[in-house]
Amino acid sequence: MNPRFFPLFGKIDTWIFDLDNCLYPASTMLFDLIDQRMGAYIQRLLGCDIIEARRVQKEHFHRHGTTLAGLMREHDVDPHHFLDDVHSVPLDRIRRDERLAEALGRLPGRKIVHTNADEPYARRVLEALGIGEHFAEMHDIHAAELRPKPNTHGYHRLLDRFRVDPSRAAMVEDMAQNLRPAKNLGMVTVWVDNGSERGNHAHHPDFIDLTIADVGEWLTELLGDAS
């Protein structure tokens, strides 16, 4: 390990990664396709136009953490039906990431994906990136009992399910708000500041330990020379 990072990561044995706009670049705009499908789903559900659907979608996201959480609470939407529908997107915007795959292969310890998406979609994305073999464990929205990040319930479920010591865990996430619970539990927090979230880390320095722009680049630097 690069000595510069040892004070933060020297004792880490569990690495928890978000999926969308984190393990792949936000610039791929894959989530835009999901966003569009969510809007279309709401249009059909409410019989409204796209402008109203967009307003409802974003209101639920900001009020409840995810669009799904709001739709379940206020419109009794079946989460399985919703997730199957909005995740039915092509993955041709995703490219294999050999640098990330190589770095994850060298990274010691357990590697877990913690996502507000569901596992079938997450597995598809990991395979498209060529990194599926490095993630034996997956903690999706169903494992979190449909209580999305940043709700602390899902974090506690993850820690219990995989017997994770939070003082020996690091969480990597592009949504800064999702790092606050991790920090409160004792994890090291890494914010992927790649433009997927509005604002900047100056507004929340107390719960972010490190800010990076690209996971593969950071892991390569963290691990040092492969030779």
> What is the per-residue pLDDT across 163-198, written as a single tens digit (0 to 9) for each?
999 999 999 999 998 999 999 999 999 999 987 665
Look up tokens 């894959």; give the residue.
Answer: 30
Share of the chain above pLDDT 90, in %: 80
pLDDT recorded at residue 199: 43
Q: Which residues pair with 210 in a beta bridge?
A: 190
- Locate 87 and state its tokens: 């995740």
Alpha helices in 110-185 (DSSP H): 119-129, 152-162, 179-185
* pLDDT tens digits for range 85-134: 999 999 999 999 999 999 999 999 999 999 999 999 999 999 999 999 99
Q: Which domains does the chain have, with CATH numbers?
A: 3-25+96-223 (3.40.50.1000), 30-86 (1.10.150.450)
Q: At 130, which amino acid appears?
A: G
pLDDT of residue 226 exceeding 80: no
Beta strands in 44-123 (DSSP E): 110-114
